[in-house]
Amino acid sequence: MLEMSRCADFSEIPVIDIGALGSGAAAEATVVAAMRDASVNVGFFYAANHGIAPADIRAIFAAAERFFSIPQDARNKIYLVNSPNYRGYLPIGARGENTERARDLLESFNVGTELGPDDPDVAHGKPLHGTNQWPDSLPGFREEIIRYYGLMDALMRRLLQGFAMAAELPRDGFDHLFRKPLTQMRLLHYPAQDFAQGDLPQGNMIGARAHRDFGFFTILLQDDVGGLEVSSPSGEWVVAPPMENTFVVNVAEMFKLVTNGRFSSALHRVINRYGRERYSVPFFANPSYEAVLAPLPQFVDDTHPAQFGPYPVGEQQLAFYRSLWPSAGKSAA
């Protein structure tokens, strides 16, 4: 049986107008304070007045629908394990080599920063740097994805300023960690679930199992179907309903690390209870390969000793992917 969840009110998952973020105006301090409060107490907030046009939001959802409408064989041709950079398509229930990991009732298309063979890091074979896999039957799809990826990169850097100030740093205090970030974007498709209230279909799979995000923070675009649920500080599951023209932003594990556990990386999941197909587009803000993280000194004292040692981002991210997909890229070599 699947426990019920209640709908969150916006004191639990606040809505923050980030229009003043990056302006240097007096109103920016109010935004930063709200981001700090949400990061400490919830780990999630809705970002409104973010500057991404509604037409761009419609376009990326249309691109996702186009991709997941092509024949299964065409999607399988760009299966993630063909890529040494862990990019490409994953079918429903894919979980890699970790058989302990719960399977998810979703399929995904995964992309990273598109880097050509003339890029110095690609030329020197640095892990996790390179090209994406693209379907050959969708004219304009690659261009649409790369364009939206650029919009998310710009929004990420605005939010990064706010998060830096929320962590008592100058606005550029995290910039050195994101010189060439290992960002990733996923197009996600959750099939409609038709099940009696409380029961789980298809081998006890739900949309996305309960998890915490791996990187620094995540910017999530969700459609109007809903399904995102967040664990409250008391451990109760609350629904984070869709809000038109907003993004859901959540703190992830690496950011929790640098604040020595002060900021919350909340457990969350997706359950598509609503009898309709669901699409979402998360953008994962991960630092550069060379970045090494440790608790910031302002979060460490005698009462709160450092909880973590040095954390090399690239090595940890590569180890995580390799644990799931140890054969990735070998068939293409």
Tell me the pLDDT tens digit for each residue of 135-145: 998 999 999 99
201-to-93, 107, 278 alpha-carbon distances in Å: 13, 16, 16
Residue with tokens 């900021």: 263
User: What's the confidence (pLDDT) of residue 45?
Assistant: 97
pLDDT for the residue numbered 182: 98
Amino acid 309: pLDDT = 84
pLDDT value at position 192? 86
Measured at the alpha carbon of residue 326, what is the angle toward residues 323 and 330, in degrees to the nearest 5?
A: 160
Give CA–CA dist 259/281, Å, rounded: 27
**Rounded CA separation 30/12 (Å):** 18
Distance in angstroms (rounded) separating the CA atoms of residues 27 and 19: 9
Instruction: Extract the runs of DSSP E, i.e. beta strands, from 4-114.
Output: 6-7, 15-17, 44-48, 88-90, 107-112
Residue 306 in contact with residue 294, Cβ under 8 Å?
A: yes
CA–CA separation, 128 and 317 (whole Å): 9
CA distance 330 to 109: 20
Tell me what pLDDT residue 7 has. 57
- Nearest CA to 129 among 286, 292, 283? 286
pTM over 0.75: yes
Of 131, 224, 213, 159, residue with least CA distance to 20? 159
In the block, residue with structure tokens 């090399």? 312
pLDDT below 50 — which residues of the chain? 1-2, 8, 10, 197-198, 332-333
- In the chain, count H helices and then E strands: 7, 15
For residue 37, the Cα-to-chain-centroid distance in whole angstroms is 21
What pLDDT sits at residue 174?
98
Spatial separation of the C-alpha atoms in residues 104 and 93, rounded to whole Å: 5
| Structure confidence at residue 165 (pLDDT) | 98
Burial of 209 (0-12, 13-18, 19+ CB in 10 A): middle
Measured distance CA(170)–CA(320) in Å, rounded = 31
Both tokens assigned to 320: 């995580």
| pLDDT for residue 272 | 86
Q: If we measure between CA atoms, which residue out of 216, 214, 222, 217 comes closest to residue 240?
A: 222
Q: 143-167 as b/e, with b when 16 or more CB fall inside 10 Å?
A: ebbeebbebbbebbbbbbbbbbbbb
Amino acid 171: pLDDT: 97
> pLDDT digits over 45-102, tens only?
999 999 999 999 999 999 999 999 999 999 999 999 999 999 999 999 887 666 666 7
Contact (Cβ atoms closer than 8 angstroms) between residue 242 and residue 224 = yes
